[in-house]
């Protein structure tokens, strides 16, 4: 893969040192000349790139810093001789969000939802059908026995997915927020999963990824921090204001339970399938991720008295 060759096909991108970005689960990514983000796209995970990039372009109307660059022919995708699909956009400096940024992340998600709130969700493609469908994911497990005691959470999923339909990010975990050196959120990146759906998935995933006391792959000592939940919830509610309904705000704790359950299912399913989706650094890595989410879920349910 040659990101500098790809740069030649996007008029808004100039060549320069290409530094690989570590930590992403899906695409191969480089920062070129400290100014541009260039990616080789994973079409196994995202088989309909045209629909995906169409969604990104729609949302970029209100998030212009995330607007994809186009080739000389006007396409947002260029393919190299081996068929690899490349794309590019401006690089946004900063660091990934962490649980320590909880209030800023809550405000950042509220601001994102306000900006996309006027976009008609009917303009977006559903390019990943059933992406957030805990029932489908649970049913697909080879051995769901370990999670059977939490199957009651599936009944809550209907409330999380209830109307109104919105333009949802669908992957609003902490690390997808860019935070500047003042601790303020400057962007919510990785728009690949943007689709019509419920904002509660976004808030639930943000809670899941900020309110654990240990890293996502460390089950020992993983607990739910209710104080951090309060910081996320209050900051989000203040920022979003009356753009969201009282029913949606009241369902945020349920969304946190459902999002954590679904992520536990996804990690376990990937472990059972041979680690095909989430890159692993050691044998059993996805199993550790699953066990950490399970510990977080257990502590969360206890704290919320479910």
* 69, two tokens: 């660059």
Which of 39, 73, 91 terminates a domain? The answer is 91
Whether 155 and 31 map to the same domain: the answer is: no
- Domain of 154, CATH number, reads 3.90.1200.10
pLDDT band at 133 (very low <50, low <70, confident <90, very high): very high
Number of domains in the chain: 2
What does the pLDDT read at residue 125? 97
Whether 74 and 114 map to the same domain: the answer is: no
Q: Which domain holds residue 87?
A: 3-91
Residue whose structure tokens are 């919830």: 233
What does the pLDDT read at residue 158? 87
pLDDT band at 144 (very low <50, low <70, confident <90, very high): confident
- 214 neighbors 222 (Cβ within 8 angstroms): yes
Whether 145 and 273 map to the same domain: the answer is: yes
Whether 87 and 103 map to the same domain: the answer is: no
Whether 82 and 103 map to the same domain: the answer is: no
Which of 59, 91, 123 terminates a domain? The answer is 91
Which of 41, 59, 91 terminates a domain? The answer is 91
CA–CA gap between residue 191 and residue 59 (Å, rounded)? 8
CA–CA gap between residue 168 and residue 94 (Å, rounded)? 23
Examine the pLDDT at 15 and tell me if it is beyond 90. no
46-86 pLDDT tens trace: 999 999 999 999 999 999 999 999 999 999 999 999 999 99
What does the pLDDT read at residue 249? 96
Residue whose structure tokens are 């599936």: 154
- Domain of 24, CATH number, reads 3.30.200.20
18-31 pLDDT tens trace: 999 986 678 999 99
Whether 148 and 226 map to the same domain: the answer is: yes
E-strand stretches of the chain? 18-20, 28-32, 36-40, 78-79, 85-90, 95-96, 166-168, 177-179, 185-188, 195-197
Q: Is the pTM of this model over 0.75?
A: yes
Examine the pLDDT at 37 and tell me if it is beyond 90. yes
Examine the pLDDT at 153 and tell me if it is beyond 90. yes
Whether 152 and 185 map to the same domain: the answer is: yes
Q: Determine the average pLDDT of the residues in 199-217.
A: 97
Whether 144 and 256 map to the same domain: the answer is: yes
């Amino acid at each position: 893969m040659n990101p500098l060759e790809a740069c030649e096909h996007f008029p808004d991108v100039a060549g320069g040192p290409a530094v690989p970005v570590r930590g992403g689960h899906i695409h191969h990514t480089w920062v070129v000349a400290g100014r541009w983000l260039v990616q080789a796209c994973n079409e196994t995970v995202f088989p309909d790139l045209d629909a995906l990039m169409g969604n990104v372009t729609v949302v970029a109307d209100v998030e212009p810093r995330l607007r994809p660059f186009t080739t000389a022919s006007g396409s947002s995708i260029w393919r190299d001789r081996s068929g690899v699909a490349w794309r590019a956009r401006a690089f946004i400096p900063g660091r990934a969000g962490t649980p320590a940024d909880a209030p800023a992340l809550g405000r950042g998600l509220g601001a994102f939802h306000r900006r996309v709130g006027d976009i008609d969700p009917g303009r977006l493609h559903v390019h990943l059908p059933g992406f957030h469908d805990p029932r489908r994911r649970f049913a697909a497990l080879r051995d769901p026995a370990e999670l059977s005691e939490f199957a009651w959470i599936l009944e809550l999923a209907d409330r999380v997915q209830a109307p109104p339909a919105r333009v949802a990010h669908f992957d609003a975990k902490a690390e997808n927020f860019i935070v500047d050196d003042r601790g303020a959120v400057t962007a919510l990146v990785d728009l690949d999963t943007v689709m019509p759906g419920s904002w509660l998935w976004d808030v639930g995933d943000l809670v899941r990824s900020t309110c654990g006391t240990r890293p996502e792959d460390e089950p020992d000592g993983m607990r739910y921090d209710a104080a951090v939940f309060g910081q996320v919830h209050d900051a989000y509610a203040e920022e979003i204001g009356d753009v969201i309904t009282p029913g949606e705000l009241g369902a945020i704790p349920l969304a946190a339970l459902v999002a954590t359950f679904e992520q536990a299912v996804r990690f376990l399913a990937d472990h059972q399938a041979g680690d095909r989706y989430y890159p692993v650094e050691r044998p059993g890595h996805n199993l550790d991720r699953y066990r950490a989410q399970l510990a977080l879920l257990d502590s969360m349910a206890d704290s919320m008295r479910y």
